[in-house]
Structure 1
Amino acid sequence: MANSTNSDVDVDVLVIGAGVVGIYALYRAVNAGFSAMTLEAGDDVGGVWYWNRYPAARFDSESYTYGYLFSKELFGEWQWEEEFATQPEIERYLNHVVDRFELRDRIRTGQRVVSANWDEDGNRWIVTTEKGETVRSQWVISATGGLSVPHYPEIEGLEDFQGEGHHTGAWPHTPLDFAGKRVAIIGNGPSGGQILPAIVDIVESVDLYQRTPTWTTPLNNAPISDEKHQQLNENFDEIVRVLSTSPSGFLHTPAGKFSTDDTPEQRQEFYEQIWKSPGFAKLTSNYYDMTTNREVNLEFCEFLAGKVRSIVTDPVTAERLIPKDHLFGAKRPPFVAGYYEAFNRPQASLIALRETPIVRIDTTGIETTEGHREYDIIVYATGFDFGTGALTRMGVVGRDGLDLSSDWEEGPSDFAGFAAHRLPNFFFPGGPHGAGGGNYPRYSQDQVDWIADALIYARENDFDRFEPTAEQEEAWMTMVETLAPLSIFSANHSHYYGANVAGKPRKFLLNPGGRGKLHEMLGELTAEHDFGGALSSVHEEVAVA
């Protein structure tokens, strides 16, 4: 790592986080000839797929569309076992990539970053970990992601419970033994929906505590045959083209029609096809106007409600599982297998928190307004402090005193979802306002590629600082604020607005302009030699320490 051109830094590029995005950022930096290293909080690589190892954790994007696309050889040599891979295979894949491209020696695990301070005189970042390690770097790429800070429910007595209590996003490496245990699952999003059917047949009892029902639909997983793998390899170039340009980052075939193109009877037949489609295709292959036409969305919701009633044998439970306050897609819909069927098992019960609130957790279990239940294991499937959580907890202090822990208290302000004014040479791909919904790695790859290309351009043109101007940031945030009300996501229910975290301001945390707007605004920057003033040269003024 000694090839840095600045004697006052340890590395040219410091990557924070060794998840899907961080691994790719490190690969791009090394491949471009920069000295680079990664600091990772976990004891191994994988990011969200290192921490989320609860039973049945898996992709809900097709495996081969979620994985890396930068190497045809890598794509061909790794044969995914299933359309939607489980966590153990995902972790093996990410470790394979790290070793395949000789990145492991550049990754320091067990190093959680606690401060990142901009040194204006040295034109560098000084980054410190909780173990006392300090790294000086010209450029920082913080690939900490939006799903890296588990959010625990605001319930009195969480620390009092004497049994096993774990968040799905911070799951122990030693597998929990659920056999014959009394289990509570708090939360019914994707992780709660995955874990319930995975354990229902081995526990003594399992109670799922539901605050708001979600439109859960079947994942419709399947194994990937040798023939399918060969077909994917043969179509690699076309797959890359589609995934690199698709607004959603999926390979799903669009419906090719509006709801008004079909009769009511034809729409019911179409909904049946959608119900049987894989994962996110229920959104991306649905009618073009499904997310904009309230009437057709309500019709589809009634179709889904009919499915729930036909599967769940207890009519009271079925009604409690049907959302009454939001349309399909207004919250991120879980795609899982066997969720509704699990409630037909005698071991499983649904506790609707709107009717029966939790009073507190104590040493032996959970007290609700209806009484006390004892448990051996409590699972907190309550999601994450999405979008800003990691960045505001990392001690990031930029130019002129910008402190993300306080300056973002009322919501983040950024440019293109990965940079901010007064944060020179600091990038956060996969951060707030980055993705537009859909297959996250495809959006994040766009961001990492642009960052890497910008650093190469800066090196070749004698620039040593990148910082969006106040005007560029304002233009991006104006776009976000203008288009956010047009999004289908609900400000009152979706974690994309921070609605799952008590006290968090309701600010839209995605890019409502999608991939098209991201490419458009980045293209405007790259059209100018100095990226519209975002690139500058200050090294002549920097004293060598």
Structure 2
Amino acid sequence: MALASTPSSPSPQSPSTSPQRRDILIVGGGFGGMYAVYKFREMGLQLQAFEAGGDVGGVWYWNRYPGARVDLPSIDYSYSFSPEIEQEWTWSEQFAAQPELLRYIDFVAKRLDLRPHFQFNTRVTSAAWDESRQLWVVKTDRGETYEAPYCVMATGPLSIPKEPDIPGVKRFKGRLLHSARWPHEPVDFTGKRVGVIGTGSTGIQVVQDVGPQAGELFVFQRTPSFTMPMRNETLTPEYVDEVKRNYAGIREIARSSTVGGSRPQSTRAFFSVTPNQRRVLLEDAWKQGGLSMLGTFADLMVNAEANEHVAEFVRGKIGEVVKDPKTAEALKPKGYPIFARRPCLDTSYYETYNLPNVHLVDCITDPIVEITEKGVRNESGETELDILILATGYDGLTGAMMAFDVTGRDGRTVRQKWQDGPRSTFGLMLEGFPNLFMTTGPNGPSALANIIRISEHDVDWIADAITHLKKNGLATIEPTVQAEDAWMEIVRSIAQRSLINKAKTWWVGANVKDKPQGLTMFTGGFLKYREYCAVPSANGYRDFQFEPQMEAVAA
């Protein structure tokens, strides 16, 4: 494996008015975009990558909020394509915090010499297919134009921050912070009256970190979340050595798993064991921490009765930790299945509500009316604040691809194609958009599996498709209507059985006003997804359509 190759296509130093030609264009500088740059460079393709942020890192470049931490084990949440990087990098914690994740990303970028291929602080404003020349024409906010036969959208499922649908956000005269666009300098909460809107995964991390620092913390909870104890550990040198000796086996297990990671997955049905045995298993999972509980029983996301038993177990744990009975009751999620919203992990979330300066505002019984110049007004009255933190998430899965104009054949845009919800083949390609590829697209496993394993898989799939074109003298590839319909029917039929449909979350588009709702992610697991995706290359891409090079047509 060649590491740190000589750059084949360095970023331009100044804007150019004439189109710049490349072999492939890559949008996004997160884990998917970084691997795409490495993979296609090693294939000998002349490339250019674009990133809106000031450096590589994707969501971890932007998410610098207090308490930001990965919720998968660090050894899983890391690249597997380079044995050299696996051996040279050492994680310090079982669940890495954002600063360590950025150090890892920086290490990889330097080790592979990736940065020269990126143009940072650059947003792509449009991408259009030029059918007469069989090229993608990409324009940026710098006024530049790039052209290439292939375009890869490594924009990720969580890229476009969402402000709350609450009147008056812009009126607030205190300091307004969004978790997804956190400032790079530290924020001092000492003695401040701080409000947090949003109690999903991010909000939970913010609350447990800011609570002990703030003068007073007011948590405006609109939907309670289930959260499990993380049980984070510092990794010992002896354990790290064991991992490095066994990385190959760990990675193979991850690629062959449902979740794309090494978390244990049981085949045990909930009601196949006695009530006493179930209690013992749940207690053990709670002590183990992480997402152990999700893997304790095989049918938690398809058997509503089993799911409710586990949900009630967790509600009981909340009551054991939170001292004030009224607060504890308000924190207990009801009305949707456990794990139907993104599973959350915490270190001291429920304990934080035992602090005298931390106040839960239950917005179910006391709804938010508006944000004022001074703070937040609920039906019962106004809470004055110095700092307001919006932990209100993203326009997930489709937001990034619909944030700018992407135009395929016959002038049809992605916005038009997805007006009733996203559709694609494997979450990788779109009918009507030749040579346009996505990584971690909305119709793949996306948020339901390890995003780095998905990113590596998707980039490798794209590389195989491009290799097929080159070997056969073909110019373009795209799925047929029939292939796209067939894949979406598979996605739909499997999703029907999932309890994920029972919660109003960003997973189903419910957090964005007027967004089409529905579970469009592939819920069959990462291994099954890989098996489906392997079929085209094995059968000669018979469900895809191709065009020859224009030169061949002219001849």
TM-score range, shorter chain: over 0.9
**Corresponding residue pairs, total:** 539
Give the counterpart letter for 2:107 in structure 1.
H
Quote the residue 1:520 is aligned against: 531
CA distance, structure 2, for counterparts of residue 70 and residue 311 of structure 1: 42
- Conserved? CA contact 1:415–1:473, under 8 Å: yes
Check 1:2–1:167 CA distance in 2 against 1; reply closer, same or farther (3 A cut). Answer: closer
* Aligned equivalent of 1:306, options 310, 316, 321: 316
TM-score (norm 2): 0.94
Could you say what secondary structure the match of 1:136 adopts?
strand
Q: Within 5 Å, which residues of 2 pair with 1:136-285?
A: 136-284=147-295
CA distance, structure 2, for counterparts of residue 147 and residue 309 of structure 1: 33
- Conserved? CA contact 1:24–1:448, under 8 Å: yes
Quote the residue 2:338 is aligned against: 328
Check 1:216–1:282 CA distance in 2 against 1; reply closer, same or farther (3 A cut). Answer: same
Tell me how far 1:507 sits from its aligned partner. Answer: 2.0
CA distance, structure 2, for counterparts of residue 63 and residue 530 of structure 1: 36
Are 1:87 and 2:98 an aligned pair?
Answer: yes
Could you say what secondary structure the match of 1:177 adopts?
coil
Quote the residue 2:297 is aligned against: 287
Tell me how far 1:256 sits from its aligned partner. Answer: 4.9
CA distance, structure 2, for counterparts of residue 49 and residue 372 of structure 1: 34
TM-score (norm 1): 0.96
Could you say what secondary structure the match of 1:349 adopts?
strand
1:61-85 CA-partner distances (Å, limit 9, x unpaired):
1111011000111011111111110
CA distance, structure 2, for counterparts of residue 242 and residue 193 of structure 1: 30
* Aligned equivalent of 1:427, options 437, 452, 460: 437
- Conserved? CA contact 1:530–1:536, under 8 Å: no
CA distance, structure 1, for counterparts of residue 481 and residue 292 of structure 2: 39
Are 1:443 and 2:465 an aligned pair?
Answer: no
Give the counterpart letter for 1:312 in structure 2.
V
Could you say what secondary structure the match of 2:48 adopts?
strand
1:489-513 CA-partner distances (Å, limit 9, x unpaired):
1354121101111221112131123
Give the counterpart letter for 2:393 in structure 1.
G
Could you say what secondary structure the match of 1:389 adopts?
coil
Deviates more, 1:41-50 or 1:288-297: 288-297
Are 1:466 and 2:477 an aligned pair?
Answer: yes
Give the counterpart letter for 2:364 in structure 1.
R
- Conserved? CA contact 1:491–1:497, under 8 Å: no
Could you say what secondary structure the match of 2:156 adopts?
coil
CA distance, structure 2, for counterparts of residue 392 and residue 514 of structure 1: 26
* Aligned equivalent of 2:354, options 332, 335, 344: 344
Check 1:170–1:22 CA distance in 2 against 1; reply closer, same or farther (3 A cut). Answer: same
Tell me how far 1:261 sits from its aligned partner. Answer: 3.6
CA distance, structure 2, for counterparts of residue 528 and residue 290 of structure 1: 36
CA distance, structure 2, for counterparts of residue 432 and residue 502 of structure 1: 18
CA distance, structure 2, for counterparts of residue 402 and residue 517 of structure 1: 32
Are 1:382 and 2:369 an aligned pair?
Answer: no
Are 1:401 and 2:411 an aligned pair?
Answer: yes
Gaps of 5+ in 2: 1-7, 11-18
Deviates more, 1:374-383 or 1:269-278: 269-278
- Conserved? CA contact 1:387–1:509, under 8 Å: no
Quote the residue 1:15 is aligned against: 26
Could you say what secondary structure the match of 2:149 adopts?
strand
Tell me how far 1:2 sits from its aligned partner. Answer: 6.8
Quote the residue 1:488 is aligned against: 499
Check 1:472–1:302 CA distance in 2 against 1; reply closer, same or farther (3 A cut). Answer: same
- Conserved? CA contact 1:491–1:506, under 8 Å: no
Gaps of 5+ in 1: none
Deviates more, 1:522-531 or 1:222-231: 522-531
* Aligned equivalent of 2:365, options 355, 366, 373: 355
Give the counterpart letter for 2:467 in structure 1.
I
